[in-house]
């Protein structure tokens, strides 16, 4: 990421400095749904906030196609691959200070990545992932309501999927 400071003219005509955090590459977020309506979540330590966090698998595109990145992040963080991938939407986080484009995918038809358990464990350790959980969709919503999930992108990704599946009205 990069912090850019622009000299700007404000809407009221005054001049000022506008700081923009540029996120180098779009990020991807994956709502992986099992045949039993469970969401696959990762439990990891977030250095930035100093807290443990429960989130959907996610990562940066590193410049490649968003779907390629989504497949890689799901495999690396959870050891799973999916038969069905749907891009359910895009979003932009903290757009008052950041330029951070994001893609949300729904992944279904899950199965373990062939022969990838050791690689998965290595990546999980690198990324600080303590464990992977399968949580019923309704229980994920309850965890959000109880404040046990606080990651805003996980919430936004869940809403995208709920809209796509007609589960919110």
Binding site for its own copies (CB under 8 A): 1, 3, 6, 8, 10-12, 18-21, 23, 27, 46-50, 53, 58, 89-102, 125-128, 137-138, 141-142, 144-145, 147, 150-153, 155-156, 158-160, 162-164, 167-169
What length is written for the chain? 169
| 150 burial via Cβ count (<10 Å: 0-12, 13-18, 19+) | middle
Least Å distance, CB 71 to its own copies, is 19
Residue closer to its own copies, measured from CB, 90 or 112: 90
Least Å distance, CB 98 to its own copies, is 6
What angle is formed at CA 57 by the lines to CA 109 and CA 158, rounded to 5 degrees? Answer: 75
Residue closer to its own copies, measured from CB, 6 or 35: 6
Residue closer to its own copies, measured from CB, 21 or 119: 21
Residue closer to its own copies, measured from CB, 60 or 108: 60
Least Å distance, CB 43 to its own copies, is 13
| 22 burial via Cβ count (<10 Å: 0-12, 13-18, 19+) | exposed
Residue given tokens 């700081």 in the structure block: 19
Least Å distance, CB 111 to its own copies, is 26
Least Å distance, CB 78 to its own copies, is 17
Residue given tokens 């940066």 in the structure block: 60
Residue closer to its own copies, measured from CB, 105 or 137: 137
Radius of gyration over every alpha carbon of the chain, rounded to an integer in angstroms: 17
Look at residue 96 and give its three-state secondary structure. coil
Rounded to 10 deg, the angle between the 66-78 and 117-127 helix axes is 100
Residue given tokens 């939407």 in the structure block: 89
């Amino acid at each position: 990421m990069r912090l850019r400071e622009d000299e700007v003219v404000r809407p009221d005509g005054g001049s000022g400095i506008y700081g923009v955090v540029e996120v180098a590459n779009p990020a991807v977020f994956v709502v992986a749904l099992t045949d039993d309506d469970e969401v696959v979540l990762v439990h990891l330590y977030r250095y930035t906030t100093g807290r443990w966090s429960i989130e959907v698998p996610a990562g940066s595109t590193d410049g490649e196609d968003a779907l390629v990145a989504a497949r890689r992040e799901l495999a690396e963080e959870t050891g799973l691959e999916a038969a069905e991938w749907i891009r359910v939407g895009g979003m932009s986080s903290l757009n008052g200070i950041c330029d951070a484009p994001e893609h949300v995918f729904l992944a279904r038809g899950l199965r373990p990545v062939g022969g990838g358990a050791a690689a998965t464990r290595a990546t999980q350790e690198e990324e600080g992932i303590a464990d992977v959980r399968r949580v019923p969709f309704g229980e994920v919503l309850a965890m959000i309501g109880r404040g046990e999930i606080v990651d805003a992108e996980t919430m936004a990704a869940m809403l995208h999927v709920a809209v796509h599946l007609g589960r919110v009205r």
